Structure 1
Amino acid sequence: MATVRAFRATRFARLIPDVVAPPYDVIDDTLRQELAARNPYNIVHLTLPEGGDDRYARAARLLQHWLAEGVLRQDPDPAIYRYVQRFHDPLSGGTRTRTGYFVLLHTEPYENGVVLPHEQTFPGVKEDRYRLLQATRTHLETIFGLFEDTPAFQEAIADAMWEPLAQVEGDDLPEGSFHKLERLVNPVEVSRFERAFANARVWIADGHHRYETALRYGQTYGADDSPERFVPILLVPLDDPGLVILPTHRVLAESPPGTPAEWQARLQSEFECVPVAHEAVLEQMAQHGGEAIGFVWREGAWLIRPKMYPPVQGLPDALIRLDSWVLHERIMPALGYTEPQKRYTRSAQDALESVRTGAAQAAFLLNPPPLRALQQIASAGGKMPHKSTYFHPKVLSGLILWQVGA
């Protein structure tokens, strides 16, 4: 099913902390300026070029300049790249390690059932990434996908000889404190690795916009199996112990219309509302096994639990049980919200503090979405609401680039 290939990556000749960055879509203007100021060769100069409509051409010229200078170099032989990432887990407080493999993935329309999405995408973001890809003919970052481990995959990696390539570490690094890159170049071992995915499906974890951009690019400029039809991806087994999904909480600028008594009256037919102290919301949510959403306003807080999950025609059961779906499709409409102004945060303490200080009027605290739910929803063709998943950490940008066809 999935077609994966080894490739000749383009990499920094000297990988140092000052040239790497988080992925483009989690960088705001302030962070972009900070990263750009660290080093004239920081990857954000390519992934988030400045300027008007000429910024894409400027990124292409800059890329060629870095290649000519030898700042970036292309590896001589096709390889599979192993990436080990060590990081702090904010949910457990411990340290985790995640291991994935950079390969090229043949892009397939979603309806083929080979590559499975779980998020909605937005046209403006895709157009921006498409114009950058057109100008540079280079995938400047990789996407992130998941696959089910198999005996064939375990056999492929069992005795593989991985050559060390680069390593960066430090507490101030983005996306983890330790990053190690290795490669596999032996043709026999590479072929065994590629064949291990012959019956695999890939679930997109991060990079839906870039995947759909790559699919469009390949369909426009390539033929089936041509280089244009491939995209670089980090593949991580679904059972990897380093897979962490953080919850994304909602912080609202307004309270629901009416009084708390009226809010409860609107909810009571379908939900239980259990009063709880602000400082106990997270603890109580954990004790309810992930089946309660925290609702906080300045004068109080509730745990909101659905009394039942009525089936919705055409939607998978895993989706209608998902916190973000229950919140946006059931709880918020029942409370009287229509299009409230809101922001998203992965910090529950940030959400609580915003309400406490009056910077926000209300907040909803969500549980981490189960990885199995993502797999089930995507497999059934469902789409989660916006900002339902946040895989932590992201794939570090600046490790791997791929010049299409080179």
Structure 2
Amino acid sequence: MADVRPFRGIRYAPTVVSDVGQVLCPPFDVISPEAQERYYARHPYNMIRLELGRELPDDTVLNNRYTRAARTFAEWRKEGVLRQDTVPSYYLYQQRFSYGGQSYTRTGLVARVRLEPWSARVVLPHELTLSKPKDDRLQLMRACAANFSPIMAWYEDPQARLRRLLQPYAERAEVQARDELADEHRLQPITDPQQVALIQDFFSQRQLFIADGHHRYETALSYREEIRELHHGLDPEDGANFVMMVLIDVDDPGLLVLPTHRLLAGLSAEQLQRLTPEHLGRYFQVERLEGEAGRGAALMVRLAEAGQTAPSFALLTSEGSWLLRLTEAGQARMAESGRAPAWNALDVAIAHQLLLEELLGLSAEDVRAGRYLRYTHETEEALAALPRGEAQAVLLLNPTPVRQICEVARADERMPQKSTYLYPKLASGLVIHPLW
């Protein structure tokens, strides 16, 4: 099963960067141009300069954001801004954060994980990937030979063995920093040989589920093949065989998966007519939500309650708010999809298959290209889109349970795009994984 190793991480020197919170940034795929500028201004050593550097008008093949990242990385190591740990370590990584008025603690283990092809069924995916972000990350890996941001992966630990082992390290964490959102990040190296052996043995019996970072994983596979071809072979212990991950128990109480709501626009009058009880009743039990029940927090509570008994959605149009519950007819139609039962049971798959594609007539290419859809995991933004005229219809979803995501991965299926949003993202800048 999974080959999970300690490694000699590269970290900010505390004598140079006393407040690590000032130099952290999110992973590349959630950084807007405005946020990029904010991180540049936040600190001269902010990880943004490596993770997602600026593009300049006069960029060339020899001088671009990837080559500048490589130069900066080398300079920071030479100047002592970044230092490599002397002893191979696992790193306890804990995030303490708030969402929706509730406090959470998410505990993970930073490690280097041997790359395996999807076909080996050691590391399991649940998403399809796109070529553009993979090309971007591959160019950065070629230039810098390092992982600046970790992949998030899950593992199963029904007896909570590893969670009990990790907990004491969080209380005495060497690094305790707060980011710009006031979320706390704790990092503690684990070097004790006995503990290291226990951790490595634990994972040798486990599969891993990619939670966030499919593009980075596939990029790492491509990078490994490039290095193998370049050197006409590759030693099994070469760093290019590994990628940095944060490994989290699927039952960790701090795992927070947010729903990704669908905002529909550009629909014809004929398509909008299909979003009425007469047509929706083909596959769903339709309940009109009147007054407060069809608004705000009360609506989301009602949706969550309905989701306990059947796949459910809330549909908002100019005609009103509707609660949709999948019927036996809808289940039978999903069973004809040719997909695994785990996929057919997904709220988001049902929404795409029965509502978007079958009732509205949107093609898979329409969905991929975003011709009629945009997405948000912010419920308030979704609820405001209709009165603002930013959407003709809003489809609100419940979050996908972690266990259900794992079952889809086990079935070797891929969820529809924008199915999950893991909150918060893992920080870039706590540990760098060298590919040597």
TM-score range for the pair, normalised by the shorter chain length: over 0.9
Q: Which residue of 1 aligns with 2:94?
A: 84
1:165 pairs with 2:184 = no
Distance 1:402 1:55 in 2: 20
Distance 1:289 1:228 in 2: 44
Q: Structure 1 residues 73, 288: closer, same or farther in 2, change over 3 A?
A: same
- CA RMSD, aligned part only? 2.2
1:207 pairs with 2:213 = yes
The answer (yes or no) to whether the contact 2:261–2:377 under 8 Å persists in 1 is yes
Q: Which residue of 1 aligns with 2:404?
A: 373
Q: Which moved more, 1:384-393 or 1:264-273?
A: 264-273
1:353 partner SS: helix
Q: Which residue of 2 aligns with 1:359?
A: 390
Q: Which residue of 1 aligns with 2:196?
A: 190
Q: Which moved more, 1:352-361 or 1:305-314?
A: 305-314
Q: Structure 1 residues 342, 158: closer, same or farther in 2, change over 3 A?
A: closer
TM-superposed deviation, 1:350: 0.8
Q: Which residue of 1 aligns with 2:48?
A: 44
Distance 2:347 2:47 in 1: 35
The residue identity in structure 2 corresponding to 1:166 is V
TM-superposed deviation, 1:32: 1.0
TM-superposed deviation, 1:241: 0.8
Q: Which residue of 1 aligns with 2:231?
A: none
Residues 97-108 of structure 1: matches in 2 within 5 Å? 97-108=105-116
Q: Which moved more, 1:117-126 or 1:314-323?
A: 314-323
Residues 61-76 of structure 1: matches in 2 within 5 Å? 61-76=71-86
Distance 1:16 1:186 in 2: 25
Match of 2:279 among 262, 266, 288: 266
Distance 1:302 1:121 in 2: 33
TM-superposed deviation, 1:283: 2.9
TM-superposed deviation, 1:159: 9.8
Q: Structure 1 residues 67, 86: closer, same or farther in 2, change over 3 A?
A: same
Q: Deviations over 1:154-177 (max 9, x none)?
A: 49927987863211026x33xx61
Q: Structure 1 residues 226, 156: closer, same or farther in 2, change over 3 A?
A: farther
Match of 2:262 among 250, 253, 257: 250
Q: Structure 1 residues 192, 156: closer, same or farther in 2, change over 3 A?
A: farther
The answer (yes or no) to whether the contact 1:160–1:184 under 8 Å persists in 2 is no
TM-superposed deviation, 1:272: 2.1
2:112 partner SS: strand
The answer (yes or no) to whether the contact 1:298–1:358 under 8 Å persists in 2 is no
Distance 1:269 1:313 in 2: 17
The answer (yes or no) to whether the contact 1:253–1:360 under 8 Å persists in 2 is yes
Residues 4-403 of structure 1: matches in 2 within 5 Å? 4-13=4-13, 14=17, 15-51=19-55, 52=59, 53=61, 54-90=64-100, 93-149=101-157, 153-154=161-162, 157=165, 164-169=173-178, 172-173=180-181, 177-222=183-228, 223=234, 224-255=236-267, 257-258=269-270, 262-264=274-276, 265-277=278-290, 278-279=294-295, 280-290=298-308, 291-308=311-328, 309-310=331-332, 311-312=335-336, 314-338=338-362, 339=366, 340-403=371-434
* TM-score normalised by L of structure 1: 0.92
Distance 1:115 1:80 in 2: 19
The answer (yes or no) to whether the contact 1:153–1:197 under 8 Å persists in 2 is no
The residue identity in structure 2 corresponding to 1:138 is A
Q: Structure 1 residues 352, 47: closer, same or farther in 2, change over 3 A?
A: same
2:77 partner SS: helix
TM-superposed deviation, 1:298: 2.6
Distance 2:75 2:87 in 1: 23
TM-superposed deviation, 1:281: 2.9
Q: Deviations over 1:92-150 (max 9, x none)?
A: x3101011100110010011010000011001111110110011001111111000116
Gaps of 5+ in 1: none
Q: Structure 1 residues 259, 70: closer, same or farther in 2, change over 3 A?
A: closer
* TM-score normalised by L of structure 2: 0.86
The answer (yes or no) to whether the contact 2:163–2:249 under 8 Å persists in 1 is no
The residue identity in structure 2 corresponding to 1:324 is V
Q: Deviations over 1:1-49 (max 9, x none)?
A: 1001100111111243221111111111111111111122111111112
Displaced runs of 4+ in structure 1, greater than 6 A?
158-163
Distance 2:215 2:23 in 1: 24
TM-superposed deviation, 1:191: 1.9
Distance 1:324 1:55 in 2: 37
Q: Deviations over 1:368-395 (max 9, x none)?
A: 0011110100011000000101111111
Gaps of 5+ in 2: 229-233
Q: Which moved more, 1:156-165 or 1:213-222?
A: 156-165
Q: Structure 1 residues 262, 388: closer, same or farther in 2, change over 3 A?
A: closer
Q: Which moved more, 1:52-61 or 1:41-50?
A: 52-61
TM-superposed deviation, 1:255: 4.1
